[in-house]
Structure 1
Amino acid sequence: MTAPVADPNARWGDLKKRVISAIFMLIVGVSELWLGGMSFNLMVFALTGVMFWELANITAPGHIRTPLAMGVIAAACLAGAVLFRDDLASTLLILPGLALALTPRRDRRIATVYGIAIMVAGYGLIDLRGPGVPAILWIICIVIASDVAGYFVGRVVGGPKFWPAISPKKTWSGTVAGWVGAVLVSLIFVALGYAPWLAVAVAPVVAFAGQMGDIAESWIKRRASVKDSSNLIPGHGGFLDRFDAMIGAVVLIMLLSLIASLPMPTPLGG
C-alpha cells in the first residue's frame, strides 16, 4: 500500500495570516514605542492584562469569568503601580499573582511566580521606556536576535538538546547562537554611540534570561497540555507565546537594577 503523499502546501498553510499578523503587530509596536507616554503605557496595561488572562485561563481551564477578572485586575494593578510608584508599586505588582494562588487551578505555585513575572515585566517596560527609546529597543533587539539566531542555527546545526523534557526543539547550538546574536546587537549599539562597552558583556545574560522565559512558558503549556496560550493572534497563538522571552529579559533587567547600575543604552547626549 502506498503511503499518502503529504501536501507540500500544508506546512505553509498559515503563512499568509502569520505574516499579516506579524506586520500588524510590528506597526503597532513601533508606533507605540515611538510615541511613548500615556499611549505606550495604555498599550502595556492592555498587554499585561491579556497575558495574565491567558495564564489564568490555561491553568484553570473551564472557568471563563475568573481568568477574565484576573486579567482586568492585573491591568488595573499595573496602572496603580505606575501611578503610585514607590508607595504601593511592590504590593500592587504582587497582588494579582497572589490572587492566582488563592483560586482553584493547577500548578498554583508556578502560576503565581509566572504571574508576578508578567507584572514586573509590564512595569519594567514602562520604566525602561521612560528615559527614551534606546534602552528598551536594545532589549527588544536582543530578544529578537537571540530568537532568530537560535531558531535557524538550531535547525541547521542541531546537536544536543538544551532541555528536552520541557522544550524538545531547543538545542545548545541554538542557545549559544542566541548569545552571539545578542553580542552583535550590543556591538551595533556601541558603534552608534548609544551604549557603553559593558553592555556587550551583559547582552548574553539578557539573551539567556529571554530564553529561560520562553522555556518557562513552554513548561506551563506542556503541563496544561495546550499548544498555544490562546488563539488571539492569527497564526501565532497568544500574546504569551510572543512575549514570553521578553518577560524573562525584562524581569532580569529589573532585578539586576536593584543591585547595581546597569550599563544600559541611553539617548545620544544623555
Structure 2
Amino acid sequence: MIKGRWSDLGERIGVGAVVAAVGLVCVWLGGFVFSALTVIAAGVMVWELVRMLDPEAPAVALAGAAAASLAVAEILPAAYALPILIAPVFVGIGQLRHRRVTYSLFTVLIVLAGLGLNILRSEHGFVWMLWLASVVIVTDVFGYIFGRLMGGPKLWPRVSPNKTWSGTLAGWGGAALVGLGFSVATTAGPELIPVSIALSMAGQMGDIAESVVKRRAGVKDSSSLLPGHGGLFDRFDGMLGASVFLLLATPIIGFPPGTIG
C-alpha cells in the first residue's frame, strides 16, 4: 500500500524539476523570453482544453488563435488588449459542438492568466513572480506530501478523489510560510501572509475546476505531455487560478501588499 501510494513520486519529482528549471530561467530572463513562455503555455492549455471538451473541434487552430491573441495583447496597452483577448472565445463557439460555455470560461481565464503573469513580471520584477510561483508550488507540494502521509477525510471525493482536507490545510500552511519569508525578505508588510493564503486557495480552486472538466470529459489527464503530471493544464491549473485571482485582487489590496516606505 505504501509503495503504491508513492509509486509516482520519483517521476513526478524528475519531470517537475525540469519544468521548474525551465520556468525559473524564463522568469529570470523576463522580457521576450518570458512573454514567449506565457504565449506557448496558453496555446498548449487551450489545445488540451479543446481536445477534452470536443475531440472533433480544430484544437490546433483554436490554440493558435488564443496564443496569437495573447501575443498581441502583451504588446498593447491594457485597454486595447481586452477585446483581443476575448475574441478567440467567439471563434471557438462557432467551432465546438459541445461544452461551449466551459470552453469560453476557461479560455478567457487562460489568456487572462497569461496577461496577468506578464504584467506581474514586467512591472514588479523577478522577486514577485518568484513569490507567486513559490506559493503555488509549495501549496502543491505540501498538499501532495501531507495528503499522502496523513490521509483523512476527502475534500470533494466525487470530483477529485485524491484530495484530502489534510493536504488542503497543509497547502495553506505552506503558503503562509512563503508569505512570511517574503515579507521578511522584502519591503512588503505582514499582509503578504493572508494574501499568500488566499492565492493558495485560488490555486486549489483552479485545480478543482480543472478536475471537474476532466471528470465530465471522462479523462484522467488533460494530455500526456508531462510524464507523472499529465498535461500542461494539469501542471499549471493552480497557477491559472492564483494568477487570475491576483490580477483581480491587485486593485483592491495594492501591490506589493502592505509595502513599507
Does TM-score exceed 0.5, indicating one fold? yes
Q: Which position in structure 2 is the counterpart of 1:204? A: 197
SS in 2 for 1:62: coil
Correspondences of 1:29-178 after superposition (within 5 Å): 29-63=23-57, 66-130=58-122, 131-178=124-171
User: Which digits, 9 at most, give the CA deviation of each residue in 1:119-172, with x for residues without a partner?
Assistant: 111001111101211211111111111111112222222222212221122122
Q: Which position in structure 1 is the counterpart of 2:185? A: 192
Q: Is the Cα contact below 8 Å between 1:135 and 1:265 reproduced in 2? A: no
CA distance in 2 between partners of 1:153 and 1:125 (Å): 29
SS in 2 for 1:235: coil
Greater Cα radius of gyration, structure 1 or 2:
1
User: Which digits, 9 at most, give the CA deviation of each residue in 1:102-122, with x for residues without a partner?
Assistant: 322432212211111101110
Q: Which amino acid aligns with 1:73?
A: A
Residue 262 (structure 1) shift = 3.6
SS in 2 for 1:234: coil
CA distance in 2 between partners of 1:256 and 1:56 (Å): 28
CA distance in 1 between partners of 2:253 and 2:91 (Å): 31
TM-score normalised by length of structure 2: 0.90
Q: Which position in structure 2 is the counterpart of 1:244? A: 237
CA distance in 2 between partners of 1:133 and 1:264 (Å): 16
Correspondences of 1:214-229 after superposition (within 5 Å): 214-229=207-222
Q: Which amino acid aligns with 1:143?
A: V
CA distance in 1 between partners of 2:6 and 2:149 (Å): 19
User: Which digits, 9 at most, give the CA deviation of each residue in 1:170-189, with x for residues without a partner?
Assistant: 12222111111110001111
Q: Is the Cα contact below 8 Å between 1:256 and 1:262 reproduced in 2? A: no
Matched residues, number: 260
Residue 17 (structure 1) shift = 5.2
SS in 1 for 2:163: strand
Stretches of structure 1 lacking an aligned partner (at least 5 in a row): 1-7
Q: Which position in structure 2 is the counterpart of 1:233? A: 226
CA distance in 1 between partners of 2:197 and 2:99 (Å): 30
CA distance in 2 between partners of 1:13 and 1:174 (Å): 18
Q: Is the Cα contact below 8 Å between 2:190 and 2:258 reproduced in 1? A: no
Residue 20 (structure 1) shift = 4.1
Q: Which position in structure 2 is the counterpart of 1:4? A: none
Q: Is the Cα contact below 8 Å between 1:134 and 1:194 reproduced in 2? A: no
CA distance in 2 between partners of 1:12 and 1:177 (Å): 18
Out of 202-211 and 19-28, give the one that drifted further: 19-28
User: Which digits, 9 at most, give the CA deviation of each residue in 1:19-70, with x for residues without a partner?
Assistant: 443332222111111100111111111111111111111111134xx11001
SS in 1 for 2:140: helix
Q: Is the Cα contact below 8 Å between 2:222 and 2:233 reproduced in 1? A: yes
Measured on the aligned residues, the alpha-carbon RMSD in Å equals 2.4
Stretches of structure 2 lacking an aligned partner (at least 5 in a row): none
Q: Is the Cα contact below 8 Å between 1:186 and 1:195 reproduced in 2? A: no
Residue 100 (structure 1) shift = 2.8
Q: Is the Cα contact below 8 Å between 2:142 and 2:171 reproduced in 1? A: yes
TM-score normalised by length of structure 1: 0.88
Out of 231-240 and 11-20, give the one that drifted further: 11-20
User: Which digits, 9 at most, give the CA deviation of each residue in 1:214-253, with x for residues without a partner?
Assistant: 0011110110011111112233211001000000000000
Q: 1:12 to 1:153 in 2, by over 3 A?
A: closer
Out of 51-60 and 233-242, give the one that drifted further: 233-242
